[in-house]
Amino acid sequence: MKVLKPLHFDQTGRISVSINHRIFFIEMSLIQYCTADGNYTDIHHIDGTTFIISDNLGDVLKKLEQFGFFAIDKSCVINLMYIRGMTQERNAKVMLDDSVELKVARDRKSELMNILFDLWCVLIAGDLLYLSFL
């Protein structure tokens, strides 16, 4: 996998990445989640493609927070629009559209639940939260 140059944002909600001396635009709304890989970040697109960029996850989070992204732990940032469920147990996990399950740090769980209650109509069933758009 080719390492891409750092992210650049435009005003339309897209990021530009450079691959083989060409610039490509990725809609931020199509980024499902990002994971840390040392000083690099893996960007996981909803089509299953993974892009590796030369920004660390902290820098990526600063750029993505304003577009509905949230750090569920030190190594993972998710697009809140793709959360479809969340376990409420001590070691909570979020479930995304494509059956991806990601662990939520204990110190981030409460803030994430508050955000989800604010964003969505939430039905509590057993120890799962099922989310639906208002």
DSSP β-bridge partners for residue 26: 15
Q: In residues, how long is the chain?
A: 134
Percent of the chain with pLDDT over 70: 78
Please tell me the predicted confidence (pLDDT) of residue 1: 44
Residue span of the structural domain in which 118 resides: 3-132
Total domains, the chain: 1
Percent of the chain with pLDDT over 90: 34
Residue pair 9/67 in contact by the 8 Å Cβ criterion: no
Q: How confident is the model at residue 132 (pLDDT cuts 50, 70, 90)?
A: low
Question: Residue 49 above 60 pLDDT?
Answer: yes
Q: Which segments within 59-108 are labelled E, that is strand?
A: 69-73, 76-79, 83-87, 93-96, 101-103
Q: How confident is the model at residue 36 (pLDDT cuts 50, 70, 90)?
A: very high
Question: Residue 6 above 60 pLDDT?
Answer: no
Please tell me the predicted confidence (pLDDT) of residue 128: 62
Rounded distance, CA 79 to CA 84, Å?
A: 11
Mean pLDDT of 80-103: 88
CATH number for the domain that contains residue 95: 2.40.50.1020
Mean pLDDT rounded to a whole number for the chain = 81
Q: pTM of the entire structure?
A: 0.80
Please tell me the predicted confidence (pLDDT) of residue 10: 54
The values of phi and psi at residue 70, to 5°, are -140, 135
Mean pLDDT of 81-88: 87
Please tell me the predicted confidence (pLDDT) of residue 8: 54
Please tell me the predicted confidence (pLDDT) of residue 114: 87
